[in-house]
Structure 1
Amino acid sequence: MQTQQASQKYLLKAALLISIAAIAYWAYDAFRSDAAPEASASAATEVEAVTLHREEVPLYKELPSRTTAYKVADIRPQASGIITERLFEEGATVTQGQLLYQIDPAPYKADFDRTIADLNRAKTNAKLAEAKAVRYTSLVKSKTISQQAYEDVVAARDQAVADVAVAQAAVSAAEVSLNYTQVNAPISGRIGKSSITAGALVTANQTTALATITQLDPIYVDLIMPSRDLIRLRPQFDNAQKLKVSLDNEEGQPAYTQEGELQFSEVTVDQTTGTVLLRALFPNPDRTLLPGMFIRARIHLQPVQAIVVPQAAAQRGSDGNLSVWVIDADGKVQAQPIEAQQATNNGWLVQNGLEDGTMIMTKGFQKTRPGATVKPVMASSPSSPKTDKAE
């Protein structure tokens, strides 16, 4: 009997202890649940942020380009004959007027001498005709000769004078032909290989050039720009001040130390590619650039006053519009739509939608939401002294 009563007391104590433990656990859990929101509310999430400032942003436009010679002259003979001498070194620099080839002048010299003799004969005949006309003038006045005879003499004199003019023209033509036996350089520049040697027969105005001279300093760089970009950047090109152009390699590093100037843009659009040709002129004193080279050209545009938003800070919505998360003075985050003028190397160029001194989030979007309170940790400024690329 006593054993049964002891067992009942033991069970009662155990049930009481279990009940007390359950009540304590429930109370602790409720306390923890009530305290969690308060703890969350009091601890603001740290996010990376940056303060934006309106500043002058230099811009440039990169375009594929190709070098083109400033002047090119194909050397062709203007007289027919045998080449007696070549008077230049292939690949050398020649000056305008320098003698390059000598064509055998003998037949042209003989023709020139003949025309000189014809001119002298015509002048002698003209002198005799003039003297005869003078004598006949006095005779016709005294009625010694008929009027018809006098007019014949005057006509003969005029014919003789005309013969002198014809002979003089023949001399000039023969002299030109004789001078054409000397083939001179029409421009200064570097001459290429010769297509003929001494002893070769050439003909006047033949199709095959004897050689080609290329002027390398200065040199043109032809840039290819999409027509849509030309329309957008037209105000820059219409500026009275010529835009500067530089040449870069594939890594964006300067490939050429000299700067050029944009000269003009073509007046028509290529219908097959939808592009427009722009031409820049570069000094090339060391002949570093050669015609036909492909290279990246950078047009330095006029700088603009704008705010640069880091690309990582801009979020694009389902409607395609950009927005940033602005942090106000109380540390609360709000989404702010922006209008980006164009993309640059460092971010988006924004002229409307943000005020100078606005603080925006750049990292930590997954840790918070609009309307939440955050603790901004300032990052480095997005602006950079480096020129921004205009897209």
Structure 2
Amino acid sequence: MQQNETVYNPPGCIVVLATLLVGLLLAGCDQSPQSQSLPPVPEVATVTVQPQKIMLTTELPGRTSPFRIAEVRPQVSGLILKRLFKEGSDVEAGELLYQIDPAPFEAALEQARAALEAARKNADQARAALAAGIANVTRQKATLALARLNRERFEEAYKDRAVSATQRDRAVTEAQVAEATLRAYEAQVESNRKAISAAEASIAQAEAAVRSARINLGYTRITAPISGRIGKSNVTEGAIVTAYQPMPLATIQQLDPIYVDVPQSTTELLRLKRRLEKGALRHNGAEQKKVWLIMEDGTLYPLQGTLEFRDVSVDPTTGSVILRMVFPNPKSVLLPRMFVRAIIREGVKKDAILVPQQAVNRTPKGLPYVLVVGKEGKVERRMLKLGRAIGDKWLVSAGLAPGDQVIVEGMQRVRPGMPVKVVPFNENKTWRGPEAGPDGRPHKRTDGGA
């Protein structure tokens, strides 16, 4: 029986593969070297460094406090009859807030008036007695003069034996009695004068008692000492209150204008003074005291404030001094004890160099640097000394000169020494933060960030 067998021939396949490989190699060798293209020069976006005049500002945290605050307390003790205000409302100075029962104070005033009237009548009686005493003195002086004349006559007559010794003795005695009576009347007059002085003092005392009673009666009407917004009432009708009690009846706070108190470290204060003395910063005249606020939600308060003063005492626990500012608050947007951030002007820097923050890189050690395009169009690395962040830019203290072209975009594709093609940088593509404008006013934030 005949069988058909299929025989596999590997050398034939190897020959075919070798032929294809040789063909490919020959095709590659036929290509010209001029057909291979060079890698393109990378493009980078740059900004040209130019010194500019800027207003340097400092952002400090702080809290608001009322412009004026008054705790309402009673000045007399009594029963609260009425509460005459709405809690949380605005009140005017002199507006009636509480009414204390006036009945006992009205009675005290009437009693004081009666005592004054009695003192005045006593004074009138003392004046009448003084007038009578003066008349008695005048009459007694005349009587004394007559008695002395009679005594002289009887003494002369007695020498001539015209009268008896008894008659002469009677005349002498009458003169002596007249003298004693005159002295008594004069003493009475002096006593009457003292009685009038005492009566006038009693009148003054009674008048003072009337004024005191009238004042106490007025204190039963508890009025607002200042204009402002009044808080909740701590007492209700029917409550007994005492004069000058520790717990206030209510509290009034004036919110327009309003204070903002922020702490500033003495280290920063001394640094600022040194920079001003060296001329690195300059004051901007009256505009130097203008300040702004950033609210808790990151928005800019629309009204401008004024720096009032720096405290002269340093808090030993924090090493800072308090800066007090005043802001208008017509709509009561700012409330007491609200957390805010104040933007304070430090001074004007005329030759400031700013670079976008996105252009600054860091070495593994954290040192800042930028890439610049050199004169030959090649990339160079420049180490920087940075100051502060102003919006979306860094204030450069050292490392750059006017005219340097700083690479802002395309840094990932280049290395120092590589040639690059420069294209202008479009700053409108990036958001600008709240840097100080030409007038020192910060731009309003739109992202709500800190």
**Common fold: TM-score over 0.5:** yes
Given that residues 263 and 323 in structure 2 are in contact (C-alpha distance below 8 angstroms), is that contact kept between their aligned partners in structure 1?
Answer: yes
| Counterpart among 155, 174, 190 of residue 213 in structure 2 | 174
The reply to whether residue 245 of structure 1 matches residue 284 of structure 2 is no
Q: Deviations over 1:164-213 (max 9, x none)?
A: 21111111111111111111111112222222222222221222222222
| Counterpart among 108, 123, 128 of residue 126 in structure 1 | 123
Given that residues 261 and 282 in structure 1 are in contact (C-alpha distance below 8 angstroms), is that contact kept between their aligned partners in structure 2?
Answer: yes
CA distance in structure 1 between the aligned counterparts of 2:358 and 2:252, rounded to whole angstroms: 54
**Deviation at 1:226?**
4.1
Given that residues 245 and 280 in structure 1 are in contact (C-alpha distance below 8 angstroms), is that contact kept between their aligned partners in structure 2?
Answer: no
**Deviation at 1:291?**
1.9
CA gap of 1:228–1:80, structure 2 versus 1, over 3 A, is same
- Residue aligning to 2:59: 62
| Counterpart among 354, 366, 371 of residue 400 in structure 2 | 354
CA gap of 1:83–1:366, structure 2 versus 1, over 3 A, is closer
CA distance in structure 2 between the aligned counterparts of 1:48 and 1:169, rounded to whole angstroms: 89
The reply to whether residue 307 of structure 1 matches residue 353 of structure 2 is yes
Q: How does 1:106-185 map to 2 (within 5 A)?
A: 106-137=103-134, 139=137, 142=141, 144-146=182-184, 147-185=186-224
- Residue aligning to 1:277: 322
CA distance in structure 2 between the aligned counterparts of 1:209 and 1:370, rounded to whole angstroms: 73
Q: TM-score of the superposition, structure 1-length normalised?
A: 0.76
**Deviation at 1:298?**
3.3
- Residue aligning to 2:90: 93
Q: Which amino acid aligns with 2:54?
A: V
**Deviation at 1:112?**
0.9
The reply to whether residue 208 of structure 1 matches residue 247 of structure 2 is yes
Given that residues 66 and 221 in structure 1 are in contact (C-alpha distance below 8 angstroms), is that contact kept between their aligned partners in structure 2?
Answer: yes
CA distance in structure 1 between the aligned counterparts of 2:198 and 2:52, rounded to whole angstroms: 86
Q: TM-score of the superposition, structure 2-length normalised?
A: 0.67
SS in 2 for 1:262: strand
Q: Which amino acid aligns with 1:355?
A: A
* Cα RMSD for the two superposed structures: 4.0
SS in 2 for 1:65: strand
CA distance in structure 1 between the aligned counterparts of 2:410 and 2:389, rounded to whole angstroms: 23
Q: Deviations over 1:327-351 (max 9, x none)?
A: 3433244444544332222222135
| Counterpart among 99, 104, 118 of residue 102 in structure 1 | 99
Q: Deviations over 1:199-250 (max 9, x none)?
A: 2222212222222222222222333444433444456899654222123344
**Deviation at 1:97?**
0.9
Which of the pair has more CA radius of gyration?
A: 2
| Counterpart among 46, 49, 61 of residue 49 in structure 1 | 46
CA gap of 1:49–1:334, structure 2 versus 1, over 3 A, is same
**Deviation at 1:318?**
7.7
Q: Which amino acid aligns with 1:313?
A: A
CA distance in structure 2 between the aligned counterparts of 1:291 and 1:129, rounded to whole angstroms: 64
CA gap of 1:368–1:103, structure 2 versus 1, over 3 A, is closer
- Residue aligning to 1:268: 313
- Residue aligning to 2:158: none
SS in 1 for 2:235: coil
- Residue aligning to 2:268: 229
Runs (4+) of structure 1 moved beyond 6 Å? 236-239, 382-385
- Residue aligning to 2:339: 294
Given that residues 289 and 307 in structure 2 are in contact (C-alpha distance below 8 angstroms), is that contact kept between their aligned partners in structure 1?
Answer: yes
Normalized per residue, which structure has more strand?
A: 1
**Deviation at 1:375?**
3.1
CA gap of 1:192–1:313, structure 2 versus 1, over 3 A, is closer
**Deviation at 1:269?**
3.7
Structure 2 gaps, min length 5: 1-24, 142-178, 277-281, 437-441, 443-449
Q: Which amino acid aligns with 2:400?
A: L
Q: Which amino acid aligns with 1:106?
A: A
* Identical-pair percentage: 40
- Residue aligning to 1:16: none
- Residue aligning to 2:175: none
Given that residues 65 and 221 in structure 1 are in contact (C-alpha distance below 8 angstroms), is that contact kept between their aligned partners in structure 2?
Answer: yes
Q: Deviations over 1:284-338 (max 9, x none)?
A: 2222222233334433554433110223434556887654444343324444454
- Residue aligning to 1:15: none
- Residue aligning to 1:13: none
Q: Which amino acid aligns with 2:337?
A: G
CA distance in structure 1 between the aligned counterparts of 2:412 and 2:296, rounded to whole angstroms: 39
Q: Which amino acid aligns with 2:375?
A: A
CA distance in structure 1 between the aligned counterparts of 2:220 and 2:432, rounded to whole angstroms: 62
CA distance in structure 1 between the aligned counterparts of 2:109 and 2:426, rounded to whole angstroms: 84
Given that residues 58 and 387 in structure 1 are in contact (C-alpha distance below 8 angstroms), is that contact kept between their aligned partners in structure 2?
Answer: no
The reply to whether residue 330 of structure 1 matches residue 376 of structure 2 is yes
Q: Deviations over 1:90-137 (max 9, x none)?
A: 222221111111111111111111111111222222233234435545
